[in-house]
Amino acid sequence: MSNTARQYWETNLKYLVILLVFWVMDFTAVGQNYQNLPTCFHCDPVPLNTNDWGLIFQGTISKKFTDRLKGELNQQTRVMNQFSSLSAIMLESGIKVKLNNRISLKSAFRFTQTKYTTVSQEKFSRLFFRLHVAGYYVWHKENIPIRVQFRSRLEDENYQYIFVSRAFWRNRIKVAYNFKQKLKPYTSFEIFKQAANSGFINFYRYEAGVKWETFEKFNLTVIFRHEYNFGSYDIPSQTQAFGLMANWSI
Q: What does the alpha-carbon distance between residue 144 and residue 146 come to, in Å, rounded to a whole number?
A: 6
Predicted local distance difference test score (pLDDT) of residue 111: 87
Question: Using 50, 70 and 90 to split pLDDT, how confident is the model at 84?
Answer: confident
CA-based end-to-end distance of the chain: 28
In Å, how far from its chain's centre is CA 98?
A: 19
Between CA 206 and CA 65, with CA 150 as vertex, the angle to 5 degrees is: 110
- Note the pLDDT tens digit of each residue in 7-44: 665 665 655 565 555 555 544 444 444 333 334 434 45
Domain boundaries, the chain: 3-249
Predicted local distance difference test score (pLDDT) of residue 149: 95
Question: Using 50, 70 and 90 to split pLDDT, how confident is the model at 160?
Answer: low
Provide the greatest CA pair distance for the chain: 65
pTM: 0.78
- Note the pLDDT tens digit of each residue in 175-227: 999 877 788 999 999 999 887 666 668 889 999 999 998 887 889 999 999 99
- Are 130 and 109 contacting, i.e. CB atoms less than 8 angstroms apart? yes
**Cβ contacts of 144 within 8 Å, gap of 6 or more:** none
Q: Which strand (E) or helix (H) includes residue 191? A: strand 183-194
CATH number of 3-249: 2.40.160.40
Q: How far, CA to CA in Å, does 237 sit from each of 36, 69, 115, 170?
A: 29, 39, 16, 19
